[in-house]
Amino acid sequence: MPHHLRRRALPAIGATALAALIAAAAVPTAQADDQPAPLDAAPAAALTGGDSILNMFEWNWNSIAAECEGPLADSGYTYVQTSPPNEHIRGDDATPGEENAWYIHYQPVSYKIESRLGTRAEYQNMVATCQANGIGVIADVVINHMAAGSPTEERTGWAGSKYRQFHYPDAGFDASDFHNTGSAYCEIDNYQDRAEVQNCHLVGLNDLDTSQTDVRETIAAYLDDLQSLGVAGFRVDAAKHIAAADLAAIMNLVDGDPYIVQEVIGAPGEPITEAEYTGIGDVQEFSYAYDLKNHINGGSEARHLTAIGTGWGYTAPAGVFVANHDTERGSQTMNYQYGQDYLLAEAFMLAHPFGTPASYTGYEFTTNHAAPPLNADGSVADAVCGSGAFTCLHRSPYMSGMAGFRAATAGEAVGNTWGSGDALAFGRGDTGHAVINAGTTAITRTFTTALPNGSYTDVISGGTVTVSGGAFTATVPAKTALAIYVGNGSGGGETKDCVTVNAAVSGTNVGDEVYVVGSIPQLGNWTAISSAHLSGASYPVWKGTISVPAGTTFQYKYVIVRSSGAYTWETIGNRTATVPATGCLNLNQTWNTA
């Protein structure tokens, strides 16, 4: 944007501008310049191969808590992602005609945990409730910038904080904490200019100077505060606009070892690449979502998806998704309006091991800036599944059932692949097998599988699939899927009343063993016993299956039994879980010392 047209007193960035910004960031033009020096940073905690995230966009904290206690508790999802939890601009300070738009959450006013999605106490209760049901919480965090503001007019944020352009006293920032103020003011216009992308202002949003120690410390304090409420990780919004060295420095100030996934929208020829950020944590791979659309709802055949991964040019470690709150309002990815194709893409993503998947559940919209359902006071209304605007797609077996499939097949490689046109199938070791039919006609065939003989329950239809002699025969209707795995049905000789464990445990040495111990006899009444021993054959993920009656509620922890016989315990409070009435309880977790 030419300097004489810059918008220095924008009330807010509009949804149209955001869409244009994403499009501009994805257009290849000039040759990339030299890459920065490698980062001196320790990578963040990785999630395990059985983990999956559910991005609950614009769900308020009480509704997420209720869902964690309800359908999510038995779904297989191991994390939920919340919208940004801190104070933002008020809805009537958005761009005229776009009042109360979703994007107001991405215009911070302070780091108070108070927003139209709920209070600090409600957020903390949500985290505790989800944790009690085996589900961690990841927060979307906006740390690149602060809200657009008037140079002269003082405004009030959602929680009462006063602010104006370059002055956010309740966040601890004044004009000295920002890039390019006064006569040096600039907005991003050229995505081929690294300095402009990372030091100029994002269509009016005030860009923090993250090279400064005090700015880094303020941001790290906010992230630590979220961790004090039990948050397990962060999705870093607009990470591309923060120099990778600055972001690494911020994360090195943060306590503990949170999971980190970063929004870095890469494009061929641009100077800023996803690879710069992989030393910090996962990087969201936007091309993955674009390719899913192309192969399931586009011109390329779905059968090629069995080989999806770094061979397709993707960065690793990657956070993958079918859609997010930005892309579902554009044309490059699918969204809920794509119906069955969208669900097939979600099912495939959860079945295939590449990347850490973040499924998406949001609300219906007719305009790109449309707000979620609101109460009279402007706060976001409770999500009511079955009525109202919230889609609740995550309750579909293509999502919740397939999250269970992912959990059960953690660490297992892809094998026994098959593909024809828009249909494909693949196994996950000797633990699971999935068939995706994105075509317009049914397929009937006999599939080769490594699954043990037995009867299995199809995650999608609930029907029975019989495996015998390394094969099963099935008819999969058009635009549907089938997925079976050991522990879901009698296949493989697994008991129906059981707890299956995939635990990523840090700090073990040669000769150490890992156990689940807990409050019931099957877990040794807090003593390590052989029936609750986990195998380290898939190290660093320790696995096991423990027979526990259906309906049993118990407390538990993971413990390392050293070669000397000494116990090393997780230092968190006791975990709590309940074995479902049917099927197994799947625990896919990470050793936690928070």
Each residue's pLDDT tens digit, 189-226: 999 999 999 999 998 999 999 999 999 999 999 999 99
Q: How far is 61 from 139, CA to CA, in rounded Å?
A: 12
Q: What is the pLDDT of residue 308?
A: 98
Q: What is the pLDDT of residue 593?
A: 60
Question: Active-site residue 93, yes or no?
Answer: no
Three-state secondary structure of 294-316: HHHHCCCCHHHHHHCCHHHCCCC
- Tell me which of 74, 122, 237, 301 is the catalytic residue: 237
Contact 547, 523 (CB under 8 A): no
Contact 588, 51 (CB under 8 A): yes
Residue segments in the chain with a per-residue pLDDT below the cut of 70:
1-45, 490-497, 582-583, 593-594
For tokens 């892809």, name the residue: 414
Q: How far is 521 from 548, CA to CA, in rounded Å?
A: 9
For the chain, the distance separating the N- and C-terminal CA atoms, rounded to the nearest angstrom, is 45
Q: What is the pLDDT of residue 535?
A: 81
Q: What is the pLDDT of residue 590?
A: 86
- Tell me which of 74, 122, 187, 263 is the catalytic residue: 263
Contact 514, 507 (CB under 8 A): no
Question: Active-site residue 67, yes or no?
Answer: no
Phi, psi of 505 (to 5 degrees): -115, 125
Residues constituting the chain: 594
- Which two three-digit tokens encode residue 464? 């029975």
Q: What is the pLDDT of residue 164?
A: 96
DSSP-assigned states of every residue in 4-23: GG--TT-S---HHHHHHHHH
Contact 357, 49 (CB under 8 A): no
Q: What is the pLDDT of residue 19?
A: 43
Name the amino acid, one letter, at 353: P
Distances (CA, A) of 222 to 140, 170, 281, 476: 12, 12, 19, 49
What's the whole-model pTM score? Answer: 0.80
- The Cβ of residue 131 has, within 10 Å, a number of other Cβ atoms equal to 19
- Which two three-digit tokens encode residue 144? 């690149």
